[in-house]
Amino acid sequence: MKKILLPTDFSEAAQVAIDYAIALFEKEKCTFFVLNAYQMAPSAPTGKSDAQLMLKKLVSGLTETKKDNHQFEPIMVDNLALEAIAATVADKKVDFVVMGSKGATALAKTFMGSTAVSVVRHVNTCPIITVPEGFGLQMPKKMIFANDLKKPIGTTALKVLKDLIKCHDIALTMVYFDRGNAMNEEQKANRKLYEDNFVGLKYRFEEVPLKTSISSAMKSMLSQRNDVDMVIFKKNRHSFFEKLLREPIIRKVAFSAKIPLLILPDVE
Domain boundaries, the chain: 2-132, 142-264
What is residue 171's predicted lDDT score, i.e. its pLDDT?
A: 96
2-132 and 142-264: same fold? yes
- Classified as helix, coil or strand, 145 is strand
Task: Answer for the pair 45, 10: CB distance below 8 angstroms, yes or no.
Answer: yes
Give residue 23's pLDDT.
96
pLDDT number for residue 210 = 82
> Is 204 in a helix, a strand, or coil?
strand
| Strand, helix or coil for residue 131 | strand
**Nearest to 231, CA basis, from 150, 151, 115, 111:** 111
Contact indicator for 228, 89 with CB cutoff of 8 Å: no
Q: Flag residues of the chain having pLDDT under 70.
A: 39-46, 102-114, 236-257, 267-268
Nearest to 150 by CA among 249, 228, 242, 70: 242
d(CA 241, CA 150): 12
Residue 31 neighbours by CB under 8 Å, 6+ apart = 1, 2, 3, 4, 70, 71, 72, 73
Amino acid 231 reads V
The pLDDT, as a whole number, for residue 194 is 94
Judge whether 217 and 177 are in contact, CB under 8 Å.
yes
Q: Measured in whole angstroms, how far is the alpha carbon of residue 10 from the centre of its chain?
A: 19
- Please report the pLDDT score of residue 216 as a whole number: 76
pTM of the model: 0.87
List the CATH code of the domain at 142-264.
3.40.50.620
Task: Classify 134 in phi/psi space as left (phi over 0), alpha (psi -120 to 50) or beta.
Answer: left
Q: What is the predicted pLDDT for the residue at 148?
A: 86
Phi, psi of 146 (to 5 degrees): -85, 120
**Distance (Å, whole) CA 33 – CA 28:** 15
Q: How far is CA 13 from CA 18, 20, 167, in A?
A: 9, 11, 25
pLDDT value at position 122?
A: 83
The CA distance from 213 to 204, in Å, is: 24
Query: Alpha carbon of 129 to those of 140, 184, 186, 210: distances in Å?
Result: 12, 31, 28, 26
Dump pLDDT digits (tens) for 171-183: 999 999 888 888 9
Element of type H or E holding 97: strand 96-101
CATH 3.40.50.620 fits 2-132, yes or no: yes
